[in-house]
Structure 1
């Protein structure tokens, strides 16, 4: 079994149809955080991927990074921290926003805190005085830079096995013909047409429905999400 996993790991860089994203994630998921042998193979694989001149992170890299960083092997943790101290997603911001804290929470799968922090950052990016209100109006959305929305989205996507993020939510919304009731049901924000209650009735792990996170309060209406999904950030994204 160990040799089989090792062979599968070494084949992860092969561009074959059988080597789909889903299959890669499944292989990586089988590795335990105290399995030093396979973690070492995984770290070598990650180093090879990360060192490529045309490297662009995806959800496979996100899972590898989290697996290595949350392992019980001190040497591997030090290696991965040294290799990419800022994580695998470029933390770009047009407003000098620091996304390191969000990256850490997502890597550790602290999704309640990550969701709350995401909302606070969006409020700050829109220039809203949080002392007056800690939520967004639809008119605030256009003030959020495209670069920052993309960074937030890439962080969520990379560290959720590709299931979460604003762009995924937008894709689902478009796939149901912009029908909000179908959208709420599809992403698990409503059950039997009844809105889920925060926080206990939401899924705070990567096994929740696709597009489930980050959250937005649908009870205030759809204008904020509509503005987000129509933001220029997703043009040619």
Structure 2
């Protein structure tokens, strides 16, 4: 018979696997084991404190937020007062509120805040009008788009983000008519109704978010997915 300690040890080893899929599976299994599993996840997060955040760190933070908020708060205050994921910005934009929403898996609110941050990148006029021209996207600093993208990737098990949308778009031969239904933004040639028609959790298709609603349309998406941010190092 396999003991609980053996099971915990096995799952702890799986957290060190090279495969993000195996890591995330181990997180979910540890969560199901209760307090013992939570303790393993907490130790793992601390042991990885000096490493760049990945989907593993993002998922552990989300688990602790839901189960041990005081413990998470103490760890963040001690090691990562600005949030587990670094958030560089060329324009001194504060992305911490976005990270906080994604940690809480408040994806609809995070999506709306993402649009707000894109408007901030575009400048005061865009902030006032509350949407972005496609020509303004071309001027966005690469580091800021990469920060927004990494936040979505890290806290969505790698499912959401502009880079995910770009990967799917390229795999479809840059065919927009095929992209919209793949992202579940369009069904039977009818645009998905906002916000009720969208899926605001991890059961959504890959690339479903961020939407920010105003991103629908070829010119805006073309500027976003062709931005140099995706071909240069952050």
TM-score of the aligned structures, taking structure 1 as reference length? 0.89
Aligned to 1:188: 184
1:77: Cα distance to partner? Answer: 4.2
Higher mean C-alpha displacement, 216-225 vs 134-143: 216-225
Matching residue within 101, 112, 116 for 1:116: 112
Number of residue pairs aligned between Structure 1 and Structure 2: 231
Question: Do 1:12 and 1:24's aligned partners in 2 also have CA atoms closer than 8 Å?
Answer: yes
What is the aligned partner in structure 1 of residue 10 from structure 2? 8
- TM-superposed CA distance for 1:39, in Å, is 0.9
| Aligned residue among 181, 199, 203 for 2:195 | 199
CA gap of 1:20–1:131, structure 2 versus 1, over 3 A, is closer
CA contact (8 A) 2:119 2:131 kept: yes
SS in 2 for 1:129: helix
Report the alpha carbon displacement of residue 81 of structure 1 after superposing the two structures with TM. 4.1
Q: CA deviation at 1:12?
A: 3.3
Q: CA offsets per residue over residues 216-236 of structure 1, 9 Å max, x none?
A: 447863101100111111113
Find runs of 4+ consecutive structure 1 residues off by over 6 angstroms: none
TM-score normalised over the length of structure 2: 0.90
* 1:107-164 deviation line (CA, Å, top 9, x unaligned): 0011111000000110111114246411111111122111100000000000000000
Deviations 1:17-59 (A, max 9, x none): xx521121122123448922211111111111223xxx22211
Q: Distance in 1 between matches of 2:187 and 2:150?
A: 28
Does structure 2 retain, via aligned residues, the 8 Å contact 1:36–1:73?
A: no
- Greater shift, 173-182 or 21-30, is seen at 21-30
Matched, 1:69 2:65: yes
For structure 2, which runs of at least 5 residues remain unmatched after alignment? none
Between structures 1 and 2, the one with greater helix share: 2
| Residue in structure 2 matched with residue 99 of structure 1 by the alignment | 95
For 2:202, what is the secondary structure of its paired residue? coil
1:13 Cα shift?
5.0
Contact 1:167 1:234 in 2 (8 A): yes
Distance 1:2 1:187 in 2: 41
- Alpha carbons of 1:220 and 1:73: their partners in 2 closer, same or farther (altered >3 Å)? closer
Residue in 2 that maps onto 1:59: 55
Contact 1:33 1:70 in 2 (8 A): no
How far, CA to CA, are the matches of 2:93 and 2:63 in structure 1?
A: 26
Specify the alignment match of 1:234 in structure 2.
230
